[in-house]
Chains A and B, each alone.
Chain A
Amino acid sequence: MSIIQLIIFLFVLIVIVKLIKRLRTRDISLPIFLLWLLFWIGAAAITWKTVILDRLADLVGVGRGADLVIYCSLLVLFYLIFRIFVRLDKQEKQISEIVRSIAKNNCDLAVREQRGERRNEDKK
């Protein structure tokens, strides 16, 4: 077993332990837990028997297994970046709405206060 394989196994082991912990505290639901578990066991299996990956690569028409991993990660990364952009945009809009409505409320209050004061002065 090569060192890199060992590192990956350790990593997967830690992740799975964490997953179990989060399942116990009900941070994640059972289906999500199973999905991730499957994913990480798959990752471990591929690390164990790299031929699996090469077979997979062959199946979808990519030269080498390692290339397949890179392609897939790129896709996932692009998708994640897109998601982050969308979320950022949404949050920017929300912040803007909050800041603007606070500003308007404060100004309205100030106006009313001033008018109130003036009325009080009239009474005197």
Chain B
Amino acid sequence: MNIFIVVPAYNEGQRIKKVVELLLTKFSNVIVVNDGSKDNTGEEIKSLPIYYCEHAVNLGQGAGLKTGTELAIGLGAEVIVHADADGQHRLEDIEKLVIELEKGNADIVIGSRFLGVKSNMPKRKKIILFLAKLFVRLFFRIKITDPQSGLRAFRASPVGASAWPKIKFTYDDFRHCTEILFLIKKNRLKFVEVPIKVNYDEHSCNKKLRPKIKMAAELLLDKLIK
């Protein structure tokens, strides 16, 4: 299987190099999309044997993933994994997702932080993710334990059963997460959740909060209009 790891990165200069080097120990095809970072993210990794790509301006995580995924498909990817650049996703979990996908029971495998594995997730984050779960459950009628997970793997062979055209999302920002779930449901794709453990260190707890209520409102509005 030709596996490609797609990593969207925005201002991750401090950690990106380590993360990518670790990925390279197990996977030979890594695509990093530097999404108009204002720090040294680009310089840190340019010398590594990866596919490097950069947006001239910051577009958002969704846009980064889309660019990376399309590149991967152009390069002949059969399996595509979306993983974070901040080192929160563990290598062994990525491998677990790929193994699960290769079993052939699902079109897309999603890593879940709420399937029994304990982590040091901050309380605040837990509450927000619980609300997010409720949100997709109530308004989109999707049953999933971790709707905001950024770790996912899916099939993308240029010929045959590719999930990509069916989950190709339109949102450039973090809303693409919810949109993918929506598309999975709409196109009757089969997804499987796999328990993963995500690291929460100081860095990830100090980051700026996303405008969550605004995003939820916009998602609802768009759903009503469409």
Q: Could you list which residues of chain A lie within 8 angstroms of chain B, going by C-beta atoms?
A: 92, 95-96, 99-100, 102-104, 106-108, 110-111
Known: A96-B63, A111-B51. A103 touches B172 (CB 8 A): no
Q: Are B57 and A103 in contact (CB under 8 A)?
A: no
Please determine whether B57 and A95 come into contact, CB atoms closer than 8 angstroms: yes
Please report the number of residue pairs spanning A and B whose Cβ atoms sit closer than 8 angstroms: 40
Q: A108-B74, A111-B75 are in contact. Are A100 and B51 (CB under 8 A)?
A: no
- Starting from the known contacts A103-B53, A108-B71, 4 additional A-B residue pairs (CB-CB under 8 Å) come to A92-B172, A95-B57, A103-B33, A103-B54
Within 8 A of A (CB), among B151-184: 172
The answer to whether A103 touches B56 (Cβ under 8 A) is yes
| Of listed B52, B53, B56, B172, residue having the most chain A CB within 10 A | B53
Q: What DSSP secondary structure best describes chain B's contact surface?
A: mixed
**Residues of chain B within 8 A of A92, CB atoms compared:** 172
| 28 A-B contacts (beta carbon < 8 Å) | A92-B172, A95-B57, A95-B59, A96-B59, A99-B55, A99-B56, A99-B57, A99-B63, A100-B55, A100-B59, A100-B63, A100-B67, A102-B56, A103-B33, A103-B53, A103-B56, A103-B67, A104-B53, A104-B67, A104-B70, A104-B71, A104-B74, A106-B53, A106-B54, A107-B71, A108-B71, A111-B51, A111-B75
